[in-house]
Structure 1
């Protein structure tokens, strides 16, 4: 159960129809009460953060390098690591500040409501975050189905099963796991997820190096793909992909799982997370692009198969795909949490027990519907990667690169002569330009690829 800094026992929303900030004990917010209960440690926070950021989407980083080249690629992933760590630290500082004032924010929309005004929380930040997180659930379901298909093709290269069938299988697994009652209840799953992401990233790096040095190594060309306008737009698409890879969008919800007092705990969690981020992101991006050059595909794992034949030992590939599959199931559960908050808030009764029949039945029904819809969309739209690039530009950049800077400047009002004010303003301004151009570039790419789109395609 969420808590304020002064009490550490109960958390109450100021207005259950508008905000989750605490004040009135007569109006309990079931979403905050059940899903975002505050019982975790800073280490649990580190597990949640790692699962939210270090996801199989990072396997697309070598592809981003094909649009940026060596220098541009290394520069962008380094800059994104520095900016996001700084950004998430600022969000944590703002959250701690309000907790000390007795108004602990549990959701992104709560922050926007209190700092920028009710309209920002209700009409912009809330819907944007929910759309991004649910889009991530759809994308993870697609990735899970692809991982299952990879395992199938390793054992049966000429198998007849299609992608949508594997997506449905993965959706069935998510359907069961989605009934975990709270974000805090995922802590052990996310600890396993941390080790799994290290496993598949180590396997991916080792596999790329092995193929790169083998006698059947593919010819490598590091020329940036595209010419003229295509190359220019490609740069912004790559930046959107990198932003999506580093994106989180649920920092307040993760910090909400920490037991009070919260001071300093989120920063420790970020240190745990970014030690894994640096290890995995750079190793996969550099080794994958080194091995395959501008032939790197949307997921570097696709490069490990050539003409239906594995370039690595089958057992090694199965371990890689299986660890990816299991970890992406944990990522799916993490990004379901904002949806679960909305579901619990609308259909749960905070005056009844969390595991009582009155709350278990609606939870089972509506969470299942949420997963079924996401699975159906993933099976119908296997080209969802193009759409996620648009989401990255339109959603991840505002939530992770722009709003934290604004929240900090508005909350603490640093001097306009100070470095931190102008640094935050510069990051927000540059990110706004990148988001705008990236969104245009992503829409353009969707239009160009539209002729290859087909519902339930076996990609």
Structure 2
């Protein structure tokens, strides 16, 4: 069943009016997963193959001081913002299983649509980045054995998109990942450990040849630092916390907070380690894909790249699941995974979605730019601006003056940061577009 629009009435919660937006029942499973499985969904999302790029896209533009302090602050702010959203999951006596449902209940129909648009753009761009990453990993394996330039990056991106589509067709919903989350964890550990060990080996061999200075002119530094700030928040991005929380068993708020604490403690350690070690080893020459820097046995590097490719396929499915849920719910796709009707629908709907994603990824394969623009135009508004303002509006009568001021300061600060980071990210894209043609072989 699909949404039929807004009702013409409001409800009163905590002394404030809230909107009763008609929302569809989901075709996917809810309340079926333990907090530990949800914690692994979150940890899989944060330790995906993007971590191989953070040394180059975060640490290089910010340096040691800015990078370390920025990451610690971004971690704390992100945990705080996610907990705010998690605490609103059952707000007003209703369970809000989608981000847009929650925004619609608090603000009304227009906010419902705007939030869905922002979230869709956010997740679509993240998935384009995943496809670029998967294609880059495949190309890296090819170059290890045959560096003849016959196969270009766009070809590998096309292969990656096809594999992602096959996986999406076979795994119906987020809860069905099950054992794949364990596989994803093993794959993550493989490429993270290989990247760290080989980086340390290279760093020890060349202790005096590293430069940690932030490169470029004063104006260039200003734009790159601003864009890197957006990357900082992209690192911790989910943009779909209510959708993930919908899968957790009761008590949903308590269990989700436990999962978040796991993600932002043990879950962060591998990412921090590979990011700092990579930057320590190569300094300002660190690439946006760390495995392109490291030296070591061919088979070890091939194993790491294949692991990064396979983990990316699994992780993309997590960030695409809200779009899949929307399509399945709208057209009433329920029941067995391999029922002919369901299978044909997923082939067309999910295959079409990933075909468009793959085409755009091959057309503009600038991974760092995707991260910056995504962080600026959708991650910051969804994860920080909206989270703080929704909590302020929902809990208004329970907050003291200082708490209200704190939430408003967050809204204003992150609004300004979003605007500045968007300008910086667009400048990066313009510069890269001048340096590289479409379907570039990077």
Aligned partners of 1:264 and 1:355: how far apart in 2?
35
Contact 1:148/1:325 (CA < 8 Å) preserved in 2?
yes
Give the CA deviation at 1:417: 4.0
**Which is worse superposed, 449-458 or 245-254?**
449-458
Aligned partners of 1:207 and 1:51: how far apart in 2?
23
Aligned partners of 2:160 and 2:61: how far apart in 1?
31
Aligned partners of 2:333 and 2:267: how far apart in 1?
39
SS of residue matched to 1:56? coil
For residue 3 of structure 1, what is the aligned residue in structure 2?
none
For residue 371 of structure 1, what is the aligned residue in structure 2?
354
For residue 78 of structure 2, what is the aligned residue in structure 1?
84
SS of residue matched to 2:88? helix
For residue 343 of structure 1, what is the aligned residue in structure 2?
327
Contact 1:132/1:395 (CA < 8 Å) preserved in 2?
yes
Q: In the superposition, relative to structure 1, how do residues 18 and 28 fare at CA in structure 2: closer, same or farther (>3 Å)?
A: closer
Query: Of 254, 270, 274, which aligns to 2:260?
Result: 270
For residue 320 of structure 1, what is the aligned residue in structure 2?
304
For residue 46 of structure 1, what is the aligned residue in structure 2?
39
Q: In the superposition, relative to structure 1, how do residues 74 and 368 fare at CA in structure 2: closer, same or farther (>3 Å)?
A: same
SS of residue matched to 1:35? coil
Deviations 1:148-205 (A, max 9, x none): 1111111223352111221122122111110211111013212321232233222222
Contact 2:74/2:233 (CA < 8 Å) preserved in 1?
yes
Q: In the superposition, relative to structure 1, how do residues 353 and 76 fare at CA in structure 2: closer, same or farther (>3 Å)?
A: same
RMSD, aligned CA: 2.4
Give the CA deviation at 1:358: 4.0
For residue 118 of structure 1, what is the aligned residue in structure 2?
109
For residue 285 of structure 1, what is the aligned residue in structure 2?
275
For residue 428 of structure 1, what is the aligned residue in structure 2?
411
Unaligned runs of at least 5 residues, structure 2: 12-21
Residues 250-261 of structure 1 mapped to structure 2, 5 A cutoff: 250-261=240-251
Aligned partners of 1:380 and 1:263: how far apart in 2?
41
Contact 1:236/1:438 (CA < 8 Å) preserved in 2?
yes
Matched, 1:70 2:64: yes
SS of residue matched to 1:312? coil
SS of residue matched to 1:16? coil
Contact 2:164/2:313 (CA < 8 Å) preserved in 1?
yes
For residue 99 of structure 2, what is the aligned residue in structure 1?
108
For residue 7 of structure 1, what is the aligned residue in structure 2?
none
Task: Give the structure-1-normalised TM-score.
Answer: 0.87
Aligned partners of 2:186 and 2:404: how far apart in 1?
38
Task: Give the structure-2-normalised TM-score.
Answer: 0.90
Aligned partners of 2:54 and 2:381: how far apart in 1?
21
Contact 1:390/1:439 (CA < 8 Å) preserved in 2?
yes
Matched, 1:186 2:160: no
Aligned partners of 1:112 and 1:390: how far apart in 2?
23
Give the CA deviation at 1:36: 4.6
Aligned partners of 1:203 and 1:426: how far apart in 2?
42
For residue 10 of structure 1, what is the aligned residue in structure 2?
none
**Which is worse superposed, 152-161 or 368-377?**
152-161
Matched, 1:331 2:315: yes
Matched, 1:207 2:190: no
Contact 2:137/2:309 (CA < 8 Å) preserved in 1?
yes
Contact 1:67/1:224 (CA < 8 Å) preserved in 2?
yes
Q: In the superposition, relative to structure 1, how do residues 19 and 336 fare at CA in structure 2: closer, same or farther (>3 Å)?
A: farther
Aligned partners of 1:199 and 1:87: how far apart in 2?
31
Matched, 1:410 2:393: yes
Deviations 1:408-436 (A, max 9, x none): 11111156645433333222222111111
Deviations 1:253-297 (A, max 9, x none): 000111333131101111222234421232122111111111112
For residue 14 of structure 2, what is the aligned residue in structure 1?
none
Query: Of 412, 420, 425, which aligns to 1:437?
Result: 420
SS of residue matched to 1:263? helix
Aligned partners of 1:260 and 1:360: how far apart in 2?
31
Matched, 1:235 2:228: no
For residue 154 of structure 2, what is the aligned residue in structure 1?
164
Contact 2:364/2:439 (CA < 8 Å) preserved in 1?
yes
Matched, 1:398 2:381: yes
Unaligned runs of at least 5 residues, structure 1: 1-12, 305-310
Contact 2:89/2:96 (CA < 8 Å) preserved in 1?
yes
Matched, 1:60 2:60: no
Give the CA deviation at 1:93: 0.8
Contact 1:297/1:303 (CA < 8 Å) preserved in 2?
yes
Q: In the superposition, relative to structure 1, how do residues 252 and 343 fare at CA in structure 2: closer, same or farther (>3 Å)?
A: same
Deviations 1:315-370 (A, max 9, x none): 221222122111111111111112112211332356x7776444443233211111
Give the CA deviation at 1:301: 2.0
**Which is worse superposed, 70-79 or 239-248?**
239-248
**Which is worse superposed, 257-266 or 401-410?**
257-266
